[in-house]
Amino acid sequence: MPRRVWLPLAAVVLVVNAAQWVIAEAIASAAWTDPTYSYATNYISDLGVPDCGTRFQGREICSPAHQLMNVSFAIQGILFATAVVLLARLVEGRARRVVLALAIAHGGAFVLVGLFHGSADAPGYSLAIHVGGAAVGILCANTVAVMAGSLRSLELPTAYRVFSIAVGVLGLLSEALVGMSARTAGVFERGGVYSWLLWSVVTGALLLARYVRAPAVMENVPV
């Protein structure tokens, strides 16, 4: 597949992937009316729990659109992994293998997140797989963002590199603070997730804009 095909394709996939997650989350949270869903206190995973009227860790859970959110989890993993695997062609040496491993691990992890929901009423292994998958996926995606800023292969501006490292580090720090308080668990979890979604949009938009401005230059840059 020539660069003029896979590079803009990867850029578009990154942007579409972030958009589908945000839209699915907004629809699922709006459908949750009794009790009202809280972006501050509820986990994103609560939106994928199929059991209505149960309580888990003090939260009352009822997500009528749980199927939509679980499909979005799995799609996100597949799309993000696909885009990063394509963009890994811009990375040289051992770093390329690391990026590929992170992308594939993230993709597999979020497919599992979509298949195994985080419900207290589910079998113990289901919750363990869900939590473990989410942790691996979040760690891998934010690490990809940090690596993208650390490497020069993407040939994007210094401002982008600083942004990429900063957003990845903030995402990792946010995820580490999720358990600090039940009142802010949703806020910090979203900090760990929205970080790589924001990175996806910015990276995709910059690569696409750069390609549109100078397709011949992007085509001739050595991989």
Token pair for residue 80?
A: 């993000």
**pLDDT confidence band for 223 (50 / 70 / 90):** very low
User: Is residue 200 within 8 Å of 20, Cβ to Cβ?
Assistant: no
User: Is residue 67 within 8 Å of 76, Cβ to Cβ?
Assistant: no
Helix (H, G, I), strand (E, B) or coil at 36: strand
Helix (H, G, I), strand (E, B) or coil at 60: strand
What is the value of pTM for the model shown? 0.90
Spell out the alpha helix ranges (H) of 32-123: 66-87, 94-115
Going by C-alpha positions, the residue among 126, 133, 137 that lies closest to residue 49 is 126
Q: Which residue has the tokens 């079998």?
A: 123
- Which string of b and e fits 180-205 if b means at least 16 CB within 10 Å? eeeeebbbbbbbbbbbbbbbbbbbbe
The pLDDT tens digits of the residues spanning 173-210 come to 999 998 777 778 889 999 999 999 999 999 999 988 87
